[in-house]
């Protein structure tokens, strides 16, 4: 083997590429590492997640380590780190740690146990609410962006109207009439589907052509719905609905989710509008992929970045909203402790027992702050302008 | 221009119509009836409930109720179910109470966030910028009511002034004018600062990003290359163009008159609109809830309309 050949082999080995190749994740991590505040946010976020899960196991079950509902009236409003008065307590009432890490509240319940339980509740409220809003947002935004140029025909509008009024009649106790309306509409849907499959250009009589006229486009329709939703003052709307519905943790999650999907819809729509025109989508289309596959396999991964960012910040907002609702007395009902209702219970004792206000307040502040910092860091990293600089 | 105004007004009226339907449906379809608010009250006999329902058309089907309600609203005859007073008059009174809060809060927001944002952009990446960024995240993240209590404790302990309510109770007789004035100022200060915190954080970040975007433009490089002093580059060349989007935000602050003040007003017992809405929700006073909702939707739409118009006037590039 002569020298030239050796050089050649070393330089042009195809197994190792010339530039140090980094995967997308490594690149992402390299950029993310530079943002110290975001790292801090991520760290606190993971810590909070672990706390919430550990807290769930420690405070639930028939015989929990920390019982958030254990009432010790003789031990009320003890400051943090206070030792329990062992003479006045039964054996099972003595706190697991041997002292009250975060004090006790006005009923003598261990605040530390309640905070642990509340962490899980806050986390679920945040995640489920944002999950709902992101799902709706992606769905609506995806439809508006991808199928936006399609027009709704008059018969579509009529069918929707008939379906809704049929369902309304059924719920309003006109069951027979409503059911008849529903059956008729469904029959029409099947009929139009079958005729559409059989022949496209069937000769239509003039009066049926009226039903095939175009009305608004899908995009306009969805964006007008978004406009309508944005007209409601969000906190006031949430408050109204939560106050009218029976108090339950699920209602709060659902209501927060249903009133916060508009931002995601707009992001996803904007991304889809620009992605739709790009070459790779045209390529996939010529390969014969279906709409479903194009949307979820090829376009969604490219559009997901702003959604992730707004979801992270949305979780923070949802936790704050839940705390605000709890504060006004419409939050998660009593057997569950949440940070919001620990705080709102504690506000009556703000001068005698400031820890009841400050511990949950600062906890909410730190968690929400970490989510916000992490989300903003994510936004910076996912920004393609910044990535080119690396 | 005229066609733009016409189109946008028609569009907004249609939106408002749907908002009125949706809010009406949300409130009336939700479980629970207004007559169930106080079932233990012995005065609430079935006859009274029936008379009450007849009086307010509650026995009619929904669409008739809808027509009745909005007919009353537009003729100004809507009355609150709770005390039989005219809703519009009630809202107007509360609105006048909320107005000083809103004005002072807006002034604080706008006067603070512009200098902070501009300075952060100029000293990008330096200590000032980083601390301002962190501080604004802190202000966004802090739960409003918690911050309110911290501030109340601080002010009451340090300055020994009462801050709850619109004025100290019973101060009206015998006090001198400057004393009353200072009292009002103290009561106004905390809630408006609280109302402004979130605004300062968001707006200063926005100013910063706008300013950074403009500072990256070619004409700024030209200005530097000409050897202009930094003040002139920053404040004359960059700031003027960075300010453009903010002119439109004057329209968007209108809806802030109602939304978001519920918690602050109930902490400070401030008899404003947010608190009235909250009390109406508690009492299931549907006319008041619906009217507040309608008015705020109207404000949102008017706000976006004004901001669109301002944009048209300010930025000749997008004139149609």
Question: Which tens digits make up the pLDDT trace of A272-308?
Answer: 888 888 898 889 989 988 888 888 888 888 888 888 8
What ipTM does the predicted assembly reach?
Answer: 0.84
Could you list the residue range(s) of the whole structural domain that residue A43 is in? Answer: 36-57+109-150+219-389
Going by pLDDT thresholds of 50, 70 and 90, the confidence category of residue A202 is low
Tell which residue, A219, A313, A208, has the closest CA to residue A266: A219
Our CA-based measurement puts residue B181 at a distance from the nearest CA of chain A, in whole angstroms, of 29
- Residue A212 is assigned to a structural domain of this protein: no
Verify whether the Cβ–Cβ distance B31 to A246 is below 8 Å.
Answer: yes
Statement: residue B13 has pLDDT above 70: yes
Q: What is the largest CA-CA distance in chain A?
A: 94
Verify whether the Cβ–Cβ distance B300 to A230 is below 8 Å.
Answer: yes
Same domain, A104 and A130: no
Statement: residue B25 has pLDDT above 70: yes
Tell which residue, A214, A212, A190, has the closest CA to residue A201: A212
Q: How far apart are alpha carbons B40 and B28 in whole angstroms?
A: 23
Same domain, A93 and A239: no
Our CA-based measurement puts residue A231 at a distance from the nearest CA of chain B, in whole angstroms, of 5
Q: pLDDT by residue (tens digit) across B260-300?
A: 578 888 888 888 888 888 888 888 888 888 888 888 888 88
- Residue A178 is assigned to a structural domain of this protein: no
Rounded to the nearest 5°, which phi and psi values hold at B61? Answer: -65, 165
Statement: residue A207 has pLDDT above 70: no
Our CA-based measurement puts residue B143 at a distance from the nearest CA of chain A, in whole angstroms, of 6
Q: Are A70 and A109 in contact (CB under 8 A)?
A: yes
Q: Which residue in the set B14, B137, B150 is minimally distant from A372, CB to CB?
A: B137
Verify whether the Cβ–Cβ distance A244 to B255 is below 8 Å.
Answer: no
Verify whether the Cβ–Cβ distance B141 to A243 is below 8 Å.
Answer: no
What is the count of structural domains for chain A?
2
Give 3-state DSSP helix, strand, coil % of chain A, rounded to 5.
70, 5, 25
The burial of A313, by beta-carbon neighbours within 10 Å (0-12 exposed, 13-18 middle, 19 or more buried), is given as buried
Helix (H, G, I), strand (E, B) or coil at B86: strand
Q: Are A243 and B281 in contact (CB under 8 A)?
A: yes
CATH number of the domain that residue A296 is part of: 1.10.3720.10
Same domain, A233 and A86: no
Q: How far apart are alpha carbons A259 and A265 in whole angstroms?
A: 12
Same domain, A94 and A239: no
Q: pLDDT by residue (tens digit) across A80-95?
A: 777 777 777 776 677 7
Going by pLDDT thresholds of 50, 70 and 90, the confidence category of residue A204 is low
Q: pLDDT by residue (tens digit) across A97-136?
A: 777 777 777 777 888 888 888 888 888 989 999 999 999 9
- Residue A125 is assigned to a structural domain of this protein: yes
Contacts of B16 in chain A (CB under 8 A): 231
Tell which residue, A222, A263, A39, A325, has the closest CA to residue A130: A263
Contacts of B143 in chain A (CB under 8 A): 320, 323-324, 327, 340, 343, 361, 364-365, 368
Verify whether the Cβ–Cβ distance A37 to B141 is below 8 Å.
Answer: no
Interface check B179 vs A, CB under 8 A:
no
For chain A, the distance separating the N- and C-terminal CA atoms, rounded to the nearest angstrom, is 40
Same domain, A102 and A227: no
Q: How far apart are alpha carbons B275 and B264 in whole angstroms?
A: 9
Interface check A244 vs B, CB under 8 A:
yes
Same domain, A103 and A235: no
- Residue A258 is assigned to a structural domain of this protein: yes
Q: Are A369 and B141 in contact (CB under 8 A)?
A: yes
- Residue A186 is assigned to a structural domain of this protein: no
CA closest to B254 among chain A residues: A233
Interface check B300 vs A, CB under 8 A:
yes
Verify whether the Cβ–Cβ distance B146 to A343 is below 8 Å.
Answer: yes
Helix (H) or strand (E) holding A151: strand A151-153
Is B234 or B36 the better-scoring residue by pLDDT? B234
Contacts of B18 in chain A (CB under 8 A): 224, 228
Mean pLDDT value across chain B: 83
Tell which residue, A50, A122, A90, has the closest CA to residue A336: A122
Provide the pLDDT for residue A389.
46
Rounded to the nearest 5°, which phi and psi values hold at A151? Answer: -105, 145
> Across-strand partners of A214?
A153
Our CA-based measurement puts residue B11 at a distance from the nearest CA of chain A, in whole angstroms, of 9
Q: Which residue in the set A227, A323, A351 is minimally distant from B143, CB to CB?
A: A323
Same domain, A296 and A340: yes
Same domain, A243 and A122: yes
Our CA-based measurement puts residue B285 at a distance from the nearest CA of chain A, in whole angstroms, of 11
- Residue A319 is assigned to a structural domain of this protein: yes
Contacts of B142 in chain A (CB under 8 A): 365, 368
Provide the pLDDT for residue B82.
74
Same domain, A53 and A82: no
Q: Are B104 and B92 in contact (CB under 8 A)?
A: no
What sign results for the dihedral spanned by CA atoms B301, B302, B307, B311? positive
Considering just the CA atoms, what is the radius of gyration of chain A in Å? 29
Going by pLDDT thresholds of 50, 70 and 90, the confidence category of residue A390 is very low
């Amino acid at each position: 083997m002569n020298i030239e050949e050796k050089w050649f082999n070393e330089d042009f080995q195809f197994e190792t590429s010339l530039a140090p190749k980094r995967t997308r994740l490594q690149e992402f991590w390299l950029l993310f590492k530079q943002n110290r505040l975001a790292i801090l946010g991520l760290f606190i976020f993971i810590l909070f997640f672990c706390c919430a899960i550990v807290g769930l196991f420690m405070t639930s079950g028939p015989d929990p380590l920390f019982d958030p509902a254990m009432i010790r009236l003789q031990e009320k409003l003890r400051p943090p780190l206070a030792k329990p008065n062992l003479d006045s307590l039964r054996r099972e009432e003595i706190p697991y740690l041997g002292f009250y890490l975060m004090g006790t509240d006005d009923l003598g319940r261990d605040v530390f146990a309640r905070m642990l339980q509340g962490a899980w509740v806050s986390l679920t409220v945040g995640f489920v609410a944002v999950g709902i809003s992101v799902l709706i947002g992606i769905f609506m935004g995806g439809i508006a962006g991808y199928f936006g140029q399609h027009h709704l025909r008059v018969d579509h509008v009529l069918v929707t109207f008939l379906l809704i009024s049929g369902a309304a009649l059924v719920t309003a106790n006109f069951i027979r009439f409503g059911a008849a309306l529903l059956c008729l509409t469904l029959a029409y849907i099947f009929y139009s589907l079958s005729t559409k499959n059989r022949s496209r250009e069937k000769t239509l009589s003039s009066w049926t052509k009226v039903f095939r006229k175009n009305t608004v486009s899908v995009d306009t329709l969805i964006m007008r719905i978004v406009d309508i939703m944005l007209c409601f003052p969000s906190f006031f709307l949430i408050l109204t609905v939560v106050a009218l519905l029976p108090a339950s943790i699920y209602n709060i999650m659902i209501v927060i989710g249903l009133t916060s999907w508009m931002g995601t819809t707009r992001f996803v729509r904007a991304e889809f509008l620009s992605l739709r025109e790009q070459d790779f989508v045209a390529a996939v289309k010529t390969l014969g992929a279906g709409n479903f596959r194009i949307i979820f396999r090829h376009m969604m991964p490219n559009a997901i970045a702003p959604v992730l960012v707004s979801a992270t910040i949305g979780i923070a907002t949802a936790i704050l909203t839940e705390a605000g609702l709890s504060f006004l007395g419409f939050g998660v009902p009593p057997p569950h402790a949440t940070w919001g209702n620990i705080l709102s219970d504690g506000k009556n004792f703000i001068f005698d027992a400031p820890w009841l206000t400050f511990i949950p307040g600062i906890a909410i502040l730190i968690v929400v702050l970490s989510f916000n910092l992490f989300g903003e860091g994510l936004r910076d990293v996912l920004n393609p302008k910044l990535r080119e600089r690396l | 221009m005229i066609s733009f105004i016409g189109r946008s007004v028609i569009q907004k009226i249609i939106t408002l119509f749907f908002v009125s339907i949706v809010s009406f449906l949300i409130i009336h379809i939700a479980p629970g009836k207004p007559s169930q608010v106080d079932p233990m009250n012995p005065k609430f006999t079935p006859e009274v409930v029936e008379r009450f329902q007849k009086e307010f058309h509650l026995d009619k089907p929904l669409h008739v109720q809808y027509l009745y309600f909005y007919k009353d609203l537009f003729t100004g005859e809507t009355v609150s179910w709770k005390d039989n007073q005219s809703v519009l008059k009630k809202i107007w009174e509360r609105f006048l109470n909320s107005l000083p809060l809103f004005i002072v809060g807006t002034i604080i927001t706008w006067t603070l966030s512009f200098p902070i944002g501009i300075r952060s952009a100029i000293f990008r990446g330096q200590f000032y910028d980083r601390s301002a960024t962190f501080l604004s995240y802190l202000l966004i993240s802090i739960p409003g009511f918690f911050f309110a209590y911290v501030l109340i404790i601080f002010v009451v302990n340090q300055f020994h002034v009462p801050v709850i309510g619109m004025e100290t109770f019973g101060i009206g007789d015998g006090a001198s004018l400057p004393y009353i004035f200072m009292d009002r100022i103290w009561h106004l200060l905390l809630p408006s600062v609280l109302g402004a915190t979130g605004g300062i954080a968001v707006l200063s970040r926005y100013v910063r990003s706008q300013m950074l975007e403009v500072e990256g433009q070619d004409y700024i490089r030209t200005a530097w290359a000409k050897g202009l002093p930094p003040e002139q580059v920053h404040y004359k060349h960059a700031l003027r163009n960075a300010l453009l989007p903010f002119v439109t935000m004057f329209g968007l602050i209108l809806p802030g008159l109602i939304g978001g003040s519920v918690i602050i007003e109930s902490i400070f017992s401030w008899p404003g609109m947010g608190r009235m809405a909250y009390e109406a929700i508690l009492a299931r006073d549907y006319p008041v809830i619906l009217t507040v909702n309608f008015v705020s939707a109207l404000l949102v739409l008017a706000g976006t309309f004004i901001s669109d118009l301002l944009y048209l006037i300010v930025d000749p590039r997008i004139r149609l």
